Amino acid sequence: MAMMGQLWTNTGSALATLMFVYTIFKQFFPLFGPQLEPFLYRLFGRFYPYIQITFHEYSGEHFKRSEAYLGIQSYLSKDSSARAKKLKANTTKGSKSIVLSMDDKEEITDDFEGIRVWWQSKKEGATRQSFSFYPEANEKRYYMLRFHRRDREVIIERYLEHVMREGKTIEQKNRERKLYSNTPGQSHGNNSKWSHVTFEHPATFDTLAMEENKKEEIKSDLIKFSKSKDYYKKIGKAWKRGYLLFGPPGTGKSTMIAAMANFLEYDVYDLELTTVKDNTHLRRLLIETSAKSIIVIEDIDCSLNLTGQRKKKEEEEEDGDDKNTIEKKMMMKNEGENKESKVTLSGLLNFIDGLWSACGGERIIVFTTNFVDKLDPALIRKGRMDKHIEMSYCCFEAFKVLAKNYLDVEESEMFEEIKRLLEVEEIKMTPADVGENLLPKSEKEGGETCLKRLIEALKEEKEEAKKKVEEEEEEKQRKKEKVKEIEAEKEKKKKIEEEN
């Protein structure tokens, strides 16, 4: 064994001497270098058992940073902070935290399926003696991967793909997520139809007040969707999924969207349909969205002056003695924009269905509404809105989530009373209102005070609801009386006519 070690040492030092001599030779006889190189490589190749692959930072003439280099940088960043002795820190555009990577000339090892590889971060000096304010700009960085030639197959077939995939996942986690909106007048970078800000909504499924089993069902649905690229391909469907969130105001529809985006690490595109001029404009907007994103159309019921059907429906409603709230909301919305959007229902449906098959995938589209029964069935059928989620009034389980979030209280003797009010008396209070009551109004307010305030509010709510029911009863009674009067009037008139 010692003999072997001795042999290696001698070979190593012989090679090192040869390399040294060759470098000197290259300095003094630069012309011979390039001719000599291939020959020397062939000569070394017989003894040198390693293969190396370089991944340059910039590729192509437009000096675009190569995807491979960025993927490797992210992949190695997960270990380099632990293993490399010299690191460099930089924030890459669009990443939310500092990315640590190994410094130049550093080398770290990586193990994969029982084989060992070496990664080195290197740079080629500035070739031309040009002065630059940013000396770095002339230097060409690259990663060098070295591995034993017996592992060539594993490396080429599996390891490189593994590095890219892992690198992409890490990149995805690190990247700063964005909230896009199409409201006119906002600064649109590179004349995009979308303007964006950093998406930092704190909502998560843990802070969302909802029954646990319902949350788990939604989370597993989302995970299944995000992991089923091949499945959608196999069944020939576009990789997209529609969610319809419906329920009264203040029940957490928008909060749910933020929780979904944070859970999947997706961007959010808030699509305000009332400002979309026409179907063509809509198509361009949707085509500009990126993969791994949630496209949201809030209050879909009053975002679209849809097809004639809706006109007819509205006319019917006109006969009613009071404009329903949906019209009021729509009037308000349109007054604001003072624009009649020419987007039609069929336009929206075609672009959602047709478009997804056109470009990329991994998109979720979410509609929210307070009035699910007013929506056109074509809009919310399966295949478009695949999952319908009802956001309802606060139940006791949802209340406990809010008590924990707002007050850090997980149990109290007042919980019994609250449970009775919510579940036995069935008092309807939205999580928004429950949250408002639990929110401490001053430094001095403790959990008990807030819980007491909530119990008072629930009791008041109960009185309100009772009064409302009585008023509705009276209203009904009044309408009945009125109808009777009209009937009697008609009878009377009829009799008079008969007598004459």
Ligand X SMILES: Nc1ncnc2c1ncn2[C@@H]1O[C@H](COP(=O)(O)OP(=O)(O)OP(=O)(O)O)[C@@H](O)[C@H]1O
**Numbered residues of the known binding site for ATP:** 247-254
Is residue 343 part of the contact set for ligand X (CB under 6 A)?
Answer: no
Which one of 3-11, 30-38, 193-201, 249-257 is the stretch in contact with ligand X (CB under 6 A)?
A: 249-257
Buried b / exposed e over 225-236, threshold 16 CB at 10 Å, is bbebeeebeeee
What residue 172 binds from Mg ion, ligand X, none (CB within 5 to 8 A, per partner kind)?
A: none
The CB-side HSE value for 413 (13 A sphere, CA atoms) comes to 0
Minimum distance of ligand X from residue 303's CB (angstroms): 12
Site mask for ligand X (CB under 6 A), range 367-406, x = bound: ---x--------------------x---------------
Closest CB to ligand X among residues 255, 303: 255
Question: Between residue 244 and residue 263, which ones bind Mg ion under the rule CB under 5 A?
Answer: 253-254
Given 241, 253, 384, 400, the residue binding ligand X (CB under 6 A): 253
The amino acid at residue 46 is: R
Residue 119 backbone zone (phi > 0: left; psi -120 to 50: alpha; other: beta): beta
Closest CB to ligand X among residues 174, 255: 255
Given 432, 440, 461, 465, the residue binding ligand X (CB under 6 A): 432
Extract the tokens encoding 56.
């340059």
For the chain, helix (H) and strand (E) counts, in that order, are 18, 15
Q: Helices 447-499 and 431-438: crossing angle, nearest 10°? A: 140
Return d(Cα 453, Cα 437) in angstroms, integer. 6
Given 208, 260, 273, 389, the residue binding ligand X (CB under 6 A): 208
Minimum distance of Mg ion from residue 343's CB (angstroms): 20
Which one of 98-106, 154-162, 243-251, 447-455 is the stretch in contact with ligand X (CB under 6 A)?
A: 243-251
Helices assigned H by DSSP within 265-344: 279-287, 308-319, 325-337
Minimum distance of ligand X from residue 356's CB (angstroms): 25
Residue with tokens 């509609």: 367
Q: Identify the CA nearest to 284 among candidates 237, 343, 211.
A: 343
Is residue 210 part of the contact set for ligand X (CB under 6 A)?
Answer: yes
Is residue 92 part of the contact set for ligand X (CB under 6 A)?
Answer: no
Q: Is 62 helix (H, G, I), strand (E, B) or coil?
A: coil
Extract the tokens encoding 238.
């576009």
Closest CB to ligand X among residues 208, 389: 208
Extract the tokens encoding 139.
């230097």
Question: Between residue 254 and residue 273, which ones bind ligand X under the rule CB under 6 A?
Answer: 254-255
Binding site for ligand X (CB under 6 A): 207-210, 249-255, 370, 391, 431-432, 435
Using CB under 5 A as the criterion, which residues of the chain lie in contact with Mg ion when the complex forms?
Answer: 253-254
